[in-house]
Each structure stands twice: as structure tokens, then as C-alpha cells.
Amino acid sequence: MKFEFRPYRRAFRQPLQTSQGMWAIREGIILRLSNAQGQTSYGEIAPIPWFGSETLAAALNFCHQLSGQINSATIAAIPANLPACQFGFESALENLVGPVSPPPAIAQSLLLPSGNAALDAWKPFWEEGYRTFKWKIGVTELPRELEICKALSLDLPPGAKLRLDANGGLTPQQTIAWLEACRAFPIEFLEQPLPPTDFATMLDLSERYPTPIALDESIASLEQLRTCYNQGWRSIFVIKPAILGSPGNLRTFCQTHPIDAVFSSALETEIGRQAGLRLAAKLGNPDRAVGYGTSHWFQDSGVEDFDRLWQSL
């Protein structure tokens, strides 16, 4: 197969603020495979190094050393320390060999801006049909965030769901404060309150409070997902397929372990997004919205013509 790749840079409309800092530009790689029959397909490598995936430089290095050709054996042999590459190449190969249907329509969770801005931001999206909203916490002081969160949950119409994501930025005391506060206003789940090193505390808290805790940063790779499952995690798993690794291995794991999985965006382009949504439709918990309501964070959202996207790079 012929293999080409083009790096991309996409600016966020406004930098995304998380407890881990500001994110202003999303960088990644679009790859294109072509076979002797003249068929082509696309894949996306969208690393998030601070989540534990390879860096963009490592992914570019891997692409460069292939010198324009690749076969399915090479794709199957991509090492586990290049999980975003595994995802990009394997999904491109799947798109090349099989007829690709567009991902089915699934309910999306909408990522709100952090802080006070969330209080008004949800309204137009509610009108558009969104019913699940996600808000980043651990960004400003705890009492202020608790206040905003309470106001937000009172404002949201019946039928709305709110999830909170701390990106591992809370202390155990702050996590308990959130879980206590959430007794008074319903939250769908509290995502990654503590860093992955605090797994035991999260496991303990997940068994003591009615508000479910979800793991995200803790399960950035399939190996970590397997480890957390084996250590007894039975609450929610937030899966970012774009950085988790081989889609085939993920399918095998989910089909043999009945986990409560919420599939989620790595803020990739439409190419990685559609590949992720196809997995979500097959493997995710159908009662939970998927975390792919992120297109509005980019200027160039909604480019669904992959050839056009490729030409623009």
C-alpha cells in the first residue's frame, strides 16, 4: 500500500482550560492509504502526550521511517508505545478493506466552557437537542466551583444530565467535598477526580458514594484499562479510542468484559471522530451519551469531506 501523511494544526476558538493547563492548538497527523485498485482511505493520529500517549514528534518519526509504503503486517506490529499511531493506521486500514458506513447517530455530550461561562453556554445547545453536558472542574477555587455547579444544575431543565471532569486535578479532600455536595444535586458522574497514582482512593470512594466515578486519565492505554479492571474497577470507564491503541484489541476486550464504557473525543478532526464513533456505537453503553460534542471548539468544524480536509493541509 502507498502511504502518505500530512501534519495538521487546528487552533481552538478559545483555549480549552483544564486543571492541567491551557490548550490552544491541537496538532496531529492525517494519513492516507491507497491500494493498487486505486482505493484510498484516511486515518488520524491525534496524540495527547500529557495523557500518556506518544508525542507528535514520535508519531512523525514513525511515519517518516516508513518511506511511503506500508502493509497490514507492519500495521499489526506497531508497538504499544505508539498507541495513537496504532489507532490511526488500523482504522485507515479497516476503512480501506471494508465498505465504511457513516457512524450512526448517537446522543452526544456537550463540552461546556470552564468557570462561570458554563452558566449561559448550555442554552443554545439545549435548543439544538443536546441533553448531556460536561463541565471541567478543578480549574478555579472549590467553593466558587461548587456554587457555579449548583446554579448550573438548578438551571438545567429536567431531562438534562451533567457530568463533571476534574482531569485528575483534585485532592482526596476536595473529591469528598464534591461527592458530598453531589448528594444535593444529581450528577451523572464525576470523572477522574484524582491522578492515576491515586487509584486505590478512587476505588474506595466509588464504593462509598452514590455519585458514580469515572476513570479517564487512568485508562489512557488498553494495558491500563485492563489493569484497572483486574484491580476491581466496575464503575464507569471513559475511553478515548484515538489514544488507547489498536481498535481491534479494544473490540476484543469490550466484547469479553462487560464494562460501562463512555466513548470520548480526543479533540480530533472528523476523520478520527468518525472512526471513534463507529467503535462507540458497537462497544459503548447505549444509555450514556458519547463524549464527542466537541466540534464547536474549532473554527473549521464540520468538514465532513475527507478529500477536502486532506487537500487543505
Whichever of 1 and 262 has its CB closer to Mg ion, that residue is: 262
Identify whether 161 is a catalytic site residue. Answer: no
Output 54 or 191, the one with its CB closest to Mg ion.
191
- Considering the complex, what minimum distance in angstroms separates the CB of residue 167 from Mg ion? 6
**Between 70 and 266, CB nearer to Mg ion:** 266
What single-letter amino acid sits at 32?
R
Kindly state the smallest distance separating residue 104's Cβ from Mg ion, in Å: 23
Q: Choose, by CB under 5 A, the member of 44, 54, 145, 216 that binds Mg ion.
A: 216
Look at residues 158, 167, 214, 170 and name the one whose alpha carbon lies nearest to residue 190: 214
For this structure, is 240 an active site residue? yes
The answer to whether 239 and 263 are in contact (CB under 8 A) is: yes
- Answer for which of 90, 165, 198, 270 binds Mg ion (CB under 5 A) is 165
Assess contact for 76 and 82: CB atoms under 8 A.
Answer: no
Size of the site for Mg ion (CB under 5 A): 3
Q: Show the 3-state SS of 216-265.
A: CHHHCCHHHHHHHHHCCCCCEEEECHHHHCCHHHHHHHHHHCCCEEEEEC
CA separation (Å) from 198 to 53, 138, 194, 195, 223? 20, 16, 6, 6, 17
Residue of 136, 150, 161, 282 with catalytic role: 136
Q: Is 198 in the site for Mg ion (CB under 5 A)?
A: no
Least distance in angstroms from the C-beta of 214 to Mg ion: 8
User: 43 or 169: whose CB is closer to Mg ion?
Assistant: 169
Residue with cell 479497516: 94
Q: How far is the CB of 52 from Mg ion (least distance, A)?
A: 13
DSSP state of 106: -
Catalytic residue chosen out of the listed positions 2, 123, 134, 240: 240
The three three-digit cell numbers of residue 86, written as one number: 496504532
Measuring CA to CA, how many Å separate 32 from each of 136, 242, 303? Answer: 34, 16, 17
Closest to Mg ion by CB, 32 or 273: 273
CB of residue 192 to Mg ion, shortest distance in Å:
5
d(CA 94, CA 92): 5
> How is residue 161 annotated by DSSP?
E
- Collapsing DSSP to helix, strand or coil, 4 comes out as strand
Rounded to the nearest 5°, which phi and psi values hold at 308?
A: -65, -40
Supply the minimum distance, in Å, between the C-beta of residue 125 and Mg ion. 19
Is 165 or 268 the residue whose CB approaches Mg ion more closely? 165
Q: Kindly indicate which of the ranges 28-36, 59-67, 101-109, 186-194 contains the residues binding Mg ion, using the contact rule CB under 5 A.
A: 186-194
Footprint of Mg ion on this chain (CB under 5 A)?
165, 191, 216
Residues with a catalytic annotation lie at 136, 240
